[in-house]
Amino acid sequence: MPYIVQGDSAEVRTANYARMNFDYDYPYELDLDPKSKFHEKLRTKIWTRASESRKEISKRFPSWNEIDKVLTTYIPLSEKEEKVKEKDSRKPVSIIFPYSYSNLESLLTYMSLAFF
């Protein structure tokens, strides 16, 4: 999953950055000092866009979770198999390898060899 930006932009306004002194000359006469109005305006626009982006992308989270379920290669042991393993750890248990995962990996291998 992608890194998720959370929180309220108002929380960031309480940060101590405005009290710090950054002796730096910004190129192209930009005023990016944390105390400047331009910095505040730019930060607000960036935060707004990041929040809107998260709102839109979060609509895809359920479908991504379903894809993760389909492509899961590790499946926990059933209760019956756990009991078998507890009695003798050397006993074999079921290995489940989803066809969808193997098909995807085969396609990825082919595409990598064919086009790279």
* Per-residue pLDDT tens digits for 7-44: 555 555 556 766 777 677 888 888 888 888 998 999 99
Structure token digits, residue 83 = 């009991």
Alpha-carbon span 84 to 68, nearest angstrom? 28
Mean pLDDT, residues 108-113 taken together: 94
Alpha-carbon span 27 to 56, nearest angstrom? 34
Tokens 């086009």 found at: 115
Alpha-carbon span 81 to 104, nearest angstrom? 28
Rounded to two decimals, what is the model's pTM? 0.50
Structure token digits, residue 57 = 């992308």
Computed over its alpha carbons, how large is the radius of gyration of the chain? 26
Residues 51, 5 contacting (CB under 8 angstroms): yes
Instruction: Summarize pLDDT for 61-72 with one digit per residue, the tens.
Output: 999 998 888 777
Number of residues in the chain = 116
Q: Where exactly are the structural domains of the chain?
A: 9-62, 75-115
